[in-house]
Chain A
Amino acid sequence: MKHSVLLDTSFFVRLLNDEDPLHNNAKGYFKYFLEEEIVLKVSTISIAEYCVKGKIFANPASSSWQSLTSNPFVL
């Protein structure tokens, strides 16, 4: 069976801010999940929370968000 993991808001904040103390942890997990073909899932609540401050997610159709979903994210 293929494994999957649900990523919370803080994961995205830390992954996309390299000054966060836990950035390397998030990046390491992200790399590991992709290499192991683990399906990454994110809830719409996390997206909404990220959007409170994170501009690149303000529009789900923005190029950045599309690029991120082009990795194995499932909405």
Chain B
Amino acid sequence: MDNIGDIEIKVVGKSGHLELTPDNYDIRQIASILQNVEDLLFPNSKKGRPLITYDIQEGSVRHIFKTPIQYIIGFSAILGQIQDSNSIDFLDLKTARAIESIQELSLQKNYEFQFSTSVKDNIELSISPKTKFYRTENIWVDAEFYFYGTLTNAGGKSKANIHLDTKEYGSLTIDTGKDFLEGQEENLLYKKFGVRATGKQNLDTGELDTKSLKLLELIDYSTKYDSDYLNALIAKAKKSWEGVNTDDWLSNLRGGYEA
């Protein structure tokens, strides 16, 4: 077996009254396919990914991608699973979005996209205006999140947002609205913040849709021990605990159950 395999995406359709060929196929559609294929093959980290080479051939239009066979085998399995289950809910977010994008292109242009790989002889997945490869919306629910990190960017001409560099999720873009940024008197950049935000979360996997984040609140984030601040909290909180024996109270609350 060769170390390099290939993926073919054959586009069947018409350009006006003419059969589709590379001569009448717009570069915008080529660019869209290239972007989607990168997301399909390497949805998570594009840094350090192996080389993917590209060729376009006639019949109608055939996009040919070459990359190490290991990734082709994985991709072929995913294609098979999508075709068999007729669903893309099991995919991670970027892969699902790439498939949705191709489905959308298919509807707009009345094209059929036939996916095949060098691993198998037959067409492994077909996306046409008749198919409906969209995520089931109801598995993505509204949720609230806390993120902690350094604010690296704030602004935007049409969409006002902040960029928060987090250890857990990398750099997150969070919509803020222009009013929020306009009202900030201090420079927010390169300071540590906690962010309370809403967004979509996958009910099955817990995955977070990082494109859906909206700011609820920016919280000053300081890891320094501040005894004045703690004492102020204690002064407010202790009234609730006057005369309480913590052990007895917790034991009673838990009904004899000790976590």
A68 engages B194 (CB within 8 Å): no
Within 8 A of A (CB), among B227-242: 229-230, 233-234, 236-242
* Residues from chain A with Cβ under 8 Å of B146 in the complex: 69, 74-75
B233 engages A64 (CB within 8 Å): yes
Contact of B233 among A10, A13, A67 (CB under 8 A): A67
Q: Which residue of B lies closest to A18 (CB)?
A: B234
B169 within 8 A of A: no
Shortest CB distance A12–B (Å): 9
B244 engages A69 (CB within 8 Å): no
- How long is the Cα–Cα vector from A30 to B249 in the complex, in angstroms? 22
Contact of B240 among A35, A49, A54, A74 (CB under 8 A): A54
B250 engages A49 (CB within 8 Å): yes
* Residues from chain A with Cβ under 8 Å of B223 in the complex: 34, 37, 71-72
B148 engages A72 (CB within 8 Å): yes
Within 8 A of B (CB), among A4-60: 8-10, 13-20, 22, 27, 30-31, 34-35, 37, 45, 49, 52-56
B 142-186 binary contact with A (CB < 8 Å = 1; else 0): 000010100000000000000000000000000000000000000
Contact of B241 among A13, A45, A68, A72 (CB under 8 A): A13
A17 engages B148 (CB within 8 Å): no
B246 within 8 A of A: yes
- Segment touching A, from B37-45, B52-60, B117-125, B213-221: B213-221
Shortest CB distance B169–A (Å): 13
Q: Chain B: how many interface residues by the 8 Å CB criterion? A: 30
- How long is the Cα–Cα vector from A14 to B249 in the complex, in angstroms? 12
Shortest CB distance A27–B (Å): 7
Say whether chain A's binding surface is mostly helix, strand, loop, or mixed: helix
Given contacts A9-B250, A30-B225, A34-B225, contact A54 B219 (CB under 8 A): no
- How long is the Cα–Cα vector from A37 to B225 in the complex, in angstroms? 10
A19 engages B148 (CB within 8 Å): no
A35 engages B225 (CB within 8 Å): yes
Contact of A10 among B219, B238, B239, B246 (CB under 8 A): B246
- How long is the Cα–Cα vector from A31 to B225 in the complex, in angstroms? 6
Shortest CB distance A18–B (Å): 5
Contact of B148 among A45, A49, A74 (CB under 8 A): A74
- How long is the Cα–Cα vector from A54 to B254 in the complex, in angstroms? 16
* Residues from chain A with Cβ under 8 Å of B247 in the complex: 10
* Residues from chain A with Cβ under 8 Å of B220 in the complex: 70
Shortest CB distance A1–B (Å): 12
B229 engages A17 (CB within 8 Å): no
- How long is the Cα–Cα vector from A66 to B244 in the complex, in angstroms? 25
Shortest CB distance A21–B (Å): 9
B241 engages A69 (CB within 8 Å): no
Given contacts A10-B250, A16-B238, contact A27 B230 (CB under 8 A): yes
Shortest CB distance A40–B (Å): 10
Interchain Cβ contacts under 8 Å between A and B, 13 examples: A9-B250, A17-B237, A17-B238, A18-B238, A30-B230, A49-B254, A55-B240, A56-B240, A64-B233, A67-B229, A69-B194, A71-B223, A75-B146
